[in-house]
Amino acid sequence: MRIVVNRDICTGCEECLGSCPFSAIVIKEGKAFITEYCDLCRACLSVCPVGAIEEVEEEGDRKKVEKGRGVWVFAEQRGGKIASVAYELLGAGRRLASELQTELVAVLFGSGESEARELIKWGADKVYLCNEPMLEKFNDEPYAELLSTLIKEHKPEIVLAGATPIGRSFIPRVAARLRTGLTADCTSLEIDKDTKNLLQIRPAFGGNIMATILCPHSRPQMATVRPRVMKRGEYVEGRAGEVIYVKADSIASRTRVTDTIKEVSEVAVNLQEADVIVSGGRGLGDAKGFNLLLELAETLEGAVGASRAAVDAGWISYSHQVGQTGKTVCPKLYIACGISGAVQHLVGMQSSDVIVAINKNPEAPIFNVATYGIVGDLFEIVPLLIKKVKEARGI
């Protein structure tokens, strides 16, 4: 594909110039011209008032692709325990597999059969399991080698992995080796109704924009998926499925993990596991404001989160921070108090089931993602809320 300006239509109005993120549009002889720096992001297409900017297909666009079969999920384990992102991937994978009327397969390295059976209960039709002790600890090369080999052999249509330190480290090697595309850190996955291609939706530019990415001409279509964004699949105790053992012969690694040091703050764990999070921002005014939120959180048996502005102000520690540079959370209920809803905050909490926003400013962007919005002073609303929740619960 190429983007070109139809010189017969272009009026030289310069509307398009500012729309190009790559500064790839210039005016030549009174008409717009797209230079070689065009990144094909299509940002300019809709701005031209006379419709002079067009996409043109090229020969390469029509390459035939060999379709694959099955949706695969890489189920990551840490210390033998399956990471929760694996269940989320199975949830997303199940949906895609039924839309494509194909099977859902999990791949598990360095863990045992009982964990593999667990993946079946969470939705997998089949699990490729390699229980080689060498794979218990994560090393990029053996993981990449083994997964590429399996993919080459079975030719899946789609491969998903968690956008975790593990997934984001070795999956790129697999994609490079297979000469296929990889989309990082997706927050939404859909199947295109017409082409059956995977639409991979992800934030870019620090969450300020969203982009839909396609991998139309090579297979498998690969994506890493942000943890805590997709819903888990359904757990069915007696679900039938097959565990297939795979061997890892002659797999070498030039890296070696000599030690693993655990270093997790209790706060962070609580935050990610809580059903209810009460979060505060600059609107709290000072560190004391958090006492109020703590009380509400305790009443609701939840945890306390914070915006970066509140953390930067030193009112609460960094381990409470929610957002792009903090934690991604997905509780049943998220109550945002005095948070404006900057996009960097939203990316960390917008997939919560129910979002309540309390803010003085009716224009605050937090209301765009809220299920329930209360325009008001949090110092008035929150104490009332505490009182009424206590009454409701008979405390």
Partner 1 sequence: MNIIVCIKQVPDTAEVRINPETNTLIRDGVPSIINPYDTHALEAGLQIKERVGGKVTVITMGPPQAETALREALSMGADDALLLTDKAFAGSDTWATSYTLAKAVEKLGADIILCGKQAIDGDTAQVGPEMAEFLNIPHIAYIRKIEEVKADSIRVQRLMDEGYDIVESSLPVLLTVVKELNEPRLPSLKGKMAAKKAEIKKMGPADLGADENNLGLKGSPTQVKNIFAPEAKKDRKMLEGTPEQQVDRLIQELRRLKCV
Ligand X SMILES: Cc1cc2nc3c(=O)[nH]c(=O)nc-3n(C[C@H](O)[C@H](O)[C@H](O)COP(=O)(O)OP(=O)(O)OC[C@H]3O[C@@H](n4cnc5c(N)ncnc54)[C@H](O)[C@@H]3O)c2cc1C
Size of the site for ligand X (CB under 6 A): 29
- H-helix or E-strand containing 81? strand 81-82
Question: Should residue 208 be labelled a site residue for partner 1 when binding is judged by CB under 8 A?
Answer: yes
112 vs 206 by CB, closer to partner 1: 206
71 vs 381 by CB, closer to ligand X: 381
Give DSSP secondary structure letters for 184-206: EEESEEEE-TTT--EEEEEEEGG
Q: What are phi and psi of 104, to 5 degrees?
A: -110, 120
- In angstroms, the CA 213 to CA 202 distance is 8
Beta carbons within 10 angstroms of residue 31's beta carbon:
16
Question: Should residue 354 be labelled a site residue for partner 1 when binding is judged by CB under 8 A?
Answer: yes
Size of the site for partner 1 (CB under 8 A): 102
Judged by CB under 6 A, which stretch of 60-68, 178-186, 235-243, 307-315 contacts ligand X? 307-315
**Any idea of the CA torsion for 118, 121, 125, 127, to the nearest 10 degrees?**
0
Residue that the structure tokens 């209920």 belong to: 333
Q: Residue 191 half-sphere exposure, CB side, CA atoms within 13 Å?
A: 18
Question: Should residue 27 be labelled a site residue for partner 1 when binding is judged by CB under 8 A?
Answer: no
- Bridge partners (DSSP) listed for residue 73: 106, 160
Near partner 1 in 59-118, by CB under 8 A: 60, 78, 83
Q: How far is the CB of 343 from ligand X (least distance, A)?
A: 7
Q: How far is the CB of 334 from ligand X (least distance, A)?
A: 12
Per-residue mark of binding to partner 1, 34-53 (x: CB under 8 A): --xxxxxxxxx-xx------
Q: How far is the CB of 172 from ligand X (least distance, A)?
A: 23
Near ligand X in 351-390, by CB under 6 A: 358-361, 364, 377-379
* CB distance 44 to 19 below 8 Å: yes
Q: How far is the CB of 360 from ligand X (least distance, A)?
A: 4
240 vs 392 by CB, closer to partner 1: 392
Question: Looking at 123, 156, 326, 331, which residue binds ligand X (CB under 6 A)?
Answer: 326
Question: Looking at 164, 307, 328, 340, which residue binds partner 1 (CB under 8 A)?
Answer: 164
Question: Should residue 183 be labelled a site residue for partner 1 when binding is judged by CB under 8 A?
Answer: yes
Give DSSP secondary structure letters for 316-329: S-GGGBBSTTSB--
Near ligand X in 192-231, by CB under 6 A: 206
Residue that the structure tokens 């397969």 belong to: 105
Question: Should residue 56 be labelled a site residue for partner 1 when binding is judged by CB under 8 A?
Answer: no
Nearest to 352 by CA among 366, 373, 369: 369
* CB distance 107 to 77 below 8 Å: no
Question: Residues 35, 41, 45, 48: is their CA dihedral positive or negative?
Answer: negative
Question: Looking at 306, 356, 359, 364, which residue binds partner 1 (CB under 8 A)?
Answer: 356
- In angstroms, the CA 164 to CA 229 distance is 13
Question: Looking at 338, 351, 373, 385, which residue binds ligand X (CB under 6 A)?
Answer: 338
Per partner kind, with CB cut-offs from 5 to 8 A, the member of ligand X, partner 1, none near residue 212 is: partner 1
Judged by CB under 8 A, which stretch of 112-120, 121-129, 136-144, 229-237 contacts partner 1? 136-144
- In angstroms, the CA 121 to CA 160 distance is 18
Q: Which residues contact 135 (CB under 8 A, 6 or more apart)?
A: 109, 110, 142, 143, 146, 248
Question: Looking at 308, 334, 355, 373, which residue binds ligand X (CB under 6 A)?
Answer: 308
The contact set with ligand X (CB under 6 A) reads: 206, 281-283, 307-310, 321-326, 338-340, 342, 344-345, 348, 358-361, 364, 377-379
